[in-house]
Amino acid sequence: MRAFTRRLVEMMVRAQRGNGEGEGEEQSLTRNRNFHTFETAEGRRALRVSRHLKSVERDLLAQLAQGNTPRVTWHRNEGQIVSVELEYRAVKGRRRAYLTREEFEILLGNKMLQGILEPAVG
């Protein structure tokens, strides 16, 4: 992931968390006001990745609230890819999300997830 794309993704994910880190810059990064940014291939990729990470983060936090622990597995043969598996016991289903190392590091920015995700850092 290029530095510009990563910075956009970090800004959008942090804005979703609402943890007060750099609130001013996240609030100013709206799709309407900054449409030129999201017209580029990098901007569209950043938007897609941030939506994916926000979805994974939201599901991880919901699972933690229910007392479930996700399974985190590194797939070294695929070039630093990590899979995060969530089990939904009530509906007997699973979700597996594949993330790059950089995407995984962005998730580690959430202090509530660090305790369960950091042991998997390889």
pLDDT tens-digit profile of 36-89? 677 888 888 888 998 999 999 998 888 888 888 888 877 765 657 888 888 877
Which residues, at least 6 apart from 51, have a Cβ–Cβ distance to it below 8 Å? Answer: none
H-helix or E-strand spanning residue 10: helix 3-17
What is the model's pLDDT at position 21? 45
Q: Parallel, antiparallel, or unpaired: how do β-strands 81-88 and 93-100 relate?
A: antiparallel
For residues 106, 109, 115 and 118, what is the CA-based torsion angle, rounded to 10 degrees? 40
C-beta neighbour count of 73 within 10 angstroms? 11
For tokens 């580690």, name the residue: 108
Model pLDDT for residues 71-82, shown as the tens digit of each residue: 887 776 565 788
